[in-house]
Structure 1
Amino acid sequence: MKTESGHPHPSLNRRQLLRMAAAASAASTTGWAFASGEKTAFPTKPVRVIVPFAAGGATDVLARAVCDKLGQQLGQPSIVDNRPGAAGLLACDAVAKAAPDGHTLTLGTTSTMLSNQFMFKKLPYDAQKDLVPVVRICWAPIVLVVNSKLAARTLPELMAYAKANKGQLTYGSYGIGSQGHLALATLSKVTDADMTHIAYKGEAPMVQDLVGGQLMIGIGSILSLKQHIDSGKLRAIAFTGRTRVPALPEVPTFAELGHQQDAFTVSGWLGVAATGGTPAAVADQLGAQIRKALQTREVNARVLMAGFVPLTDDSPQRYQADWRRELPIWKQLLQDAGVQPT
């Protein structure tokens, strides 16, 4: 403590000053957050990150990479809790009903945290009130592929082929209402191809049929498709989103090729959300610490290996704004594709 003259307060000796400095350092390390003018220690216990998918998948792998760094930075363990099933509802509901103190988070996808609101007639939680966006860790664009036996090598060639074979083609996605379904339903519509959608229960069976030739057109993640693209069994045609993907930089986006419809330009993402009512200062701190983790070589490499695009400049405020902006877009896309809530 200093007087107005800038010199140490005479009533404090050197030992007391050292103790105060140590306390301030400890507060910085453990992450003091400030709310309503009072300081609240965060974290005071392990931070649990609930993942809505089984262990071993891309989301789980990235969650564990982020959690390893986050735990080191916060000075408390950061633990992954896998709760697969019910299209992500179980994981989101657990976070929605947790204490609003920032110690329980979910790392989910556009589907689990956004479009699910329009896929189900009734959710056990209100996503707009019971979840608070913290930070997105990456964009998750998907890639349109064809079996290499199909003559089409570019998007214009594929569209011409689909139009010439109206009503005869099928395309696969990893589920009804998925971004893949919505993107290819839009492609079918703009080409007047009247293609038939085959909704698979996940990517694995879809990829198996694509590689085997039972399915000629499909769309999915780089993580599932890249090895078959590299082997020449599948041909990458175009990515959703507006940014080329580092894992396949030679493949253009739909937008680059002149297709600006929302189904092609919006990009899926993986993001972190906390319980509704979590103090803004805690959400800000979590966002900053996760961004810091993403900037490390290890975590950045994991994101790239999964075929995603790292997002290191997000914030709770930007995330919230995009969440609100994208809600009506996903709602309209689902309606246009004829997806009825169950």
Structure 2
Amino acid sequence: MLQQRCSPSQCPSYIEPQNLTSVSEFFLMGLSDDPELQPLLFGMFLSIYLVTILGNLLIVLTISSDSHLHTPLYLFLSNLSLVDIGFISTTVPKMIVNIQTHSRVISYVGCLTQMSFFILFGCMDGILLTAMAYDRFVAVCHPLHYSVIMSPRLCGFLVLASFLISLLDSQMHNLIVLLLTCFENVEISNFFCDPSQLFNLASSDTFTNNIVMSFVGAIFCFLPFSGILFSYYKIISSILGVPSIAGKYKAFSTCGSHLSVLCLFYGTRLGVYFGSSLSPSPWKDVVTSIMYTIITPMLNPFIYSLRNRDIKSTLWRLYGRLISQYVCNPFWSVGW
């Protein structure tokens, strides 16, 4: 499993070369070592995964089936649902397989692939939420020019740009990990290949890599977040200028679902960052990782379906259509 590759010229002089290895496999420590908990964990995370897939697919089906929902906001929402499906599919299936097979091994190539897709879909989530914030800004602050500003060409460009920027981000992380030739440890104290933990396992001089990672984080995380803050600053300023309370409520209600998803998305990530900085704990990192990699994608479709009147009405119409088709075409009429 371990192959000695570090030479004294490659590794720091203060560490013995035999303690530094080039790895072909990593070990994902997972959630628990207790064998009695494994069936419970398997059933719980399999159920969460299926609910997430079905919920997000239902959002995509609902939006695509109703021409009234073919608007910029719902275009971004359908893409967000597809990204959430990819995001949770990056980590949970591997964890479920590991629980079922009682194995914690992930290959070096598999780990880099998982990390790459994890960053790709995670970054796309943030950029699409930023595009949705800009859409709400135009809808609230420039309603008369909404259809002109949010043209199909601009919306398509924003979706494509979110993919290309996220792909660049993931490949930059991949390149940095590939440059880390020496590792002191092969145990990742999480259920997936967390990029930050991979960097912490490296034993080579990572000062330059840390500078690059800070720069990459500033571009791909801080800028989208700044765009969201600026959009909502303008939205709130515009809403406060509305004279009637009913008008303020109507304007703010258009942003309610998006704000809920934003708080869930960035709240869990900020919790991971500040929690690990103030009081480092492997178990706390695992719990917060579950929140933003598993729970958030599962809750997004519920937030948008329960708080959005258009989504709810379309879902009821689809349900009524299915019921009417079943009543008009019972099983025995088709040969049962």
In which range does the TM-score fall when normalised by the shorter chain?
Answer: under 0.3
TM score, norm. by length of structure 2: 0.27
Q: Which has the higher strand share?
A: 1
Q: Which has the higher helix share?
A: 2
